[in-house]
Structure 1
Amino acid sequence: MTTTSDHATTTAEYAPEHSPRLSWAQHAPEVYQAMIRLERAASGQGLDARLRELVKIRASQLNHCAFCLDMHTKDALAAGESVERIVQLTAWEESRHFYTEKELVALELTEVVTVLTDGFVPDEVYERAARHFDEAELAQLIAAITVINAWNRFAVTTRMSPGHYTPGQYLGL
């Protein structure tokens, strides 16, 4: 990258991009196509597109999935989400004033479903979510959280490389 100012030109040397370990979509096309169908089903009626993207971004942050972070931040921006709210997701508990109560319980549910090593999904978290989402919405929210966690695991394990995604490029959603 080259930047210029009134006084100098500097070039930043970035680390080389890593290569993916495996093209799992190529080698397991039936699984990939099943994931696409599952993604489409989980992206169906019932949830606001921006909320769904916030959930996908938060789960991807927790799972350290750079590929999915690249994809879903771009998709969130394309859906009209603000840069500020995306940036604040890593500290949503201390940035609560950026989100609605419904979004906050969705983020809380996302965390407990994503980080199952901390134990089961606590009743109080589920009950808070159930107060803000009707049963159909809650089912779609749980589906969205579950599906992004599956995508994260494929992408992290195979080291899919971020930075090349254009909104709608892979799934046509």
Structure 2
Amino acid sequence: MTTTEIKTNDRTTGEATTVRPNPTTAAPRLNFAKAAPKVFRAVIGLDAAAREGLDPALVELVQIRASHLNRCAYCLHMHTTDARKAGESEDRLHMVAVWQEAEHFFTAREQSALALTDAVTRIGDAGVPDEVYDRAAAHFPEEELAHLLALIFTINTWNRIALSTAKRAGTDER
């Protein structure tokens, strides 16, 4: 074990695991946009297309929630900042992480989007349960639901890019 590794117990299984902290204090590993410009532009294109027709406040809530789940401080900082600039309340921003226990802060439509975000982001745990999908489908017409799913795919991609390249929270390099 190196000095940067930490022994811990997994919250779900109780098994001992080795965790290597995200090197957020180190310089970014690579500039993904410069190293793979065609890929980067393709993700930007997907992101832009996914947002079309979706309420901008909902977009930020989804991006914040996925970033919480993926523990992506870079994206979390960026999207909470964007949400504040768009007029989102501090109360709601603080409640996104615990939305299931604070449902009264969110509309039924927002709750269904957050539940779908949870399921898609954690897809390896149990897939996307029918009741979660059906709940979202009840609140979003088919085209809008497809855009919501694409938005969730996109923020998960951005989270993985930021985490893999050690983007530093607060720099908001776009």
TM-score by length of 1: 0.84
Aligned runs of 1:30-45 on 2, under 5 Å? 30-45=38-53
Aligned runs of 1:1-20 on 2, under 5 Å? 17-20=25-28
The equivalent of 1:3 in structure 2 is: none
Q: Given the alignment of the two structures, is residue 70 of structure 1 paired with residue 77 of structure 2, yes or no? A: yes
RMSD of Structure 2 on Structure 1 (CA): 1.3
Q: Given the alignment of the two structures, is residue 27 of structure 1 paired with residue 26 of structure 2, yes or no? A: no
> Which of 140, 148, 156 is equivalent to 1:133?
140
Deviation at 1:51, TM superposition (A): 0.5
- After TM superposition, the runs of 4+ consecutive aligned structure 1 residues lying more than 4 A away are none
Deviation at 1:116, TM superposition (A): 1.1
Query: Counterparts of 1:40 and 1:100 in 2: how far apart (Å)?
Result: 24
The equivalent of 1:56 in structure 2 is: 63
Deviation at 1:30, TM superposition (A): 0.9
Letter in 1 for 2:26: H
Letter in 1 for 2:49: A
- Secondary structure of the 1:140 match is helix
Structure 2 residue runs without a partner (length 5+)? 1-23
Query: Counterparts of 1:50 and 1:79 in 2: how far apart (Å)?
Result: 7
Structure with the greater alpha carbon radius of gyration? 1
| % same residue | 51
Q: Given the alignment of the two structures, is residue 111 of structure 1 paired with residue 108 of structure 2, yes or no? A: no
> Which of 107, 116, 119 is equivalent to 1:100?
107
Deviation at 1:160, TM superposition (A): 0.5
Structure 1 residue runs without a partner (length 5+)? 1-15
> Which of 87, 92, 97 is equivalent to 1:85?
92
After superposition, what is the alpha-carbon deviation per residue over 1:137-171, rounded to whole angstroms, capped at 9, x for unaligned? 11111011010001111100111111122xxx73x
| Matched pairs, number | 151
After superposition, what is the alpha-carbon deviation per residue over 1:22-45, rounded to whole angstroms, capped at 9, x for unaligned? 111111111111111111111112
Query: Counterparts of 2:140 and 2:48 in 1: how far apart (Å)?
Result: 20
